[in-house]
Amino acid sequence: AQKITQTQPGMFVQEKEAVTLDCTYDTSDQSYGLFWYKQPSSGEMIFLIYQGSYDEQNATEGRYSLNFQKARKSANLVISASQLGDSAMYFCAMRDLSGGSYIPTFGRGTSLIVHP
Amino acid sequence: EAQVTQNPRYLITVTGKKLTVTCSQNMNHEYMSWYRQDPGLGLRQIYYSMNVEVTDKGDVPEGYKVSRKEKRNFPLILESPSPNQTSLYFCASSFNNRGSSRGYTFGSGTRLTVV
């Protein structure tokens, strides 16, 4: 069974600084995808970034990058130059890509607050 | 605009009164799914659908029904709602069941309260 662990219930960061949100996962699958989503206070879920297990390079999307360490089974989200609008809940998720399961697994989330 | 549309956004109902939450996507996605979000538990999948007339249970299907008669629509049905189904519900879709490199597209959410 897959499992996602987000050990930081809450994080605080100063505006314009970088912040890392931790995500570790557990799976026996060889082929999987890792996702990060942002949920602002308005409630919608916004896709941020994706990393495939066979991707050799870390994914980047603007100010977001995914620090993928396959051997350690970690997929940390790095937000550079934090903005006040980055204050939100952040969820890490994973999906089996080998066809064994069609149910993605989500972590419990990390609440990020950006201070001015 | 490509989107997943859920209705209603907010719903308060009484125990036992059947209700339906609608979900529609305009992206011709094959894969659609329903989640519930509860504090401290993250998102848990209720049901998913691989394509028209193909549905299957997720992690927490008890008390819910779904149907997929058309590719664009995937309604969630609570035949006899109970207070423990009070939650924030999300519908999501993707091109295929893998979520693709663009992830799943989520609807805006439905906040359901059962009294």
Q: Quick one: pLDDT at residue A28? A: 86
Closest partner CB to B58 (pick from A37, A91, A103) = A103
User: Phi, psi (5° rounding) for residue A84?
Assistant: -55, -35
Amino acid identity at B113 = T
Instruction: Note whether B90 contacts A: Cβ–Cβ < 8 A.
Output: yes
Mean pLDDT value across residues B5-16? 96
More confidently predicted of B97 and B14: B14
With CA atoms as reference, report the closest residue to B21 among B105, B88, B69: B88
Q: Is the predicted pLDDT of residue A1 greater than 80, yes or no?
A: no
Rounded CA gap, B69 and A2, in Å? 31
The minimum CA-CA distance between B26 and chain A, rounded to whole Å, is: 17
Looking at the predicted structure, is the pLDDT value of residue A101 above 70?
no
CA distances from B92 to A60, A63, B32, B34 (A): 23, 25, 6, 6
Quick one: tokens of B65? 């029904």
Q: How many angstroms away from the CA of A61 is the closest CA of chain B?
A: 11
Query: Which of B77, B50, B46 lies closest to B59 in space, CA to CA?
Result: B46
Distance separating alpha carbons of residues A97 and A33, to the nearest angstrom = 7
The model's pLDDT over A2-58, given as tens digits with 9 standing for 90+, comes to: 899 999 999 999 999 999 999 999 988 888 899 999 999 999 999 999 999 998 899
Rg (CA), chain A: 14
Pairwise pLDDT comparison (A105 vs B11), residue with the higher score:
B11
Mutate to test the interface with B, among A103, A108, A110, A111 (most CBs of B within 10 A): A103
Q: pLDDT confidence of B100, banded at 50, 70, 90? A: low
Nearest to A102 among B40, B50, B101 (CB): B50
Q: What is the pLDDT of residue A66?
A: 96
Write down the mean pLDDT value for chain B: 92
Confirm if B23 and B90 have CB atoms less than 8 A apart.
Answer: no
Q: With cut-offs at 50, 70 and 90, classify the pLDDT of residue B44.
A: very high
* pLDDT (average), residues B48-68: 94
| Mean pLDDT in residue range B25-39 | 93
Kindly report, residue by residue over A55-99, the tens digit of the pLDDT. 889 999 999 999 999 999 999 999 999 999 999 999 999 988 776
> In sequence order, which residues have a C-beta less than 8 Å from that of residue A86 and are 6 or more positions away?
A38, A79, A112, A114
d(CA A91, CA A103): 16
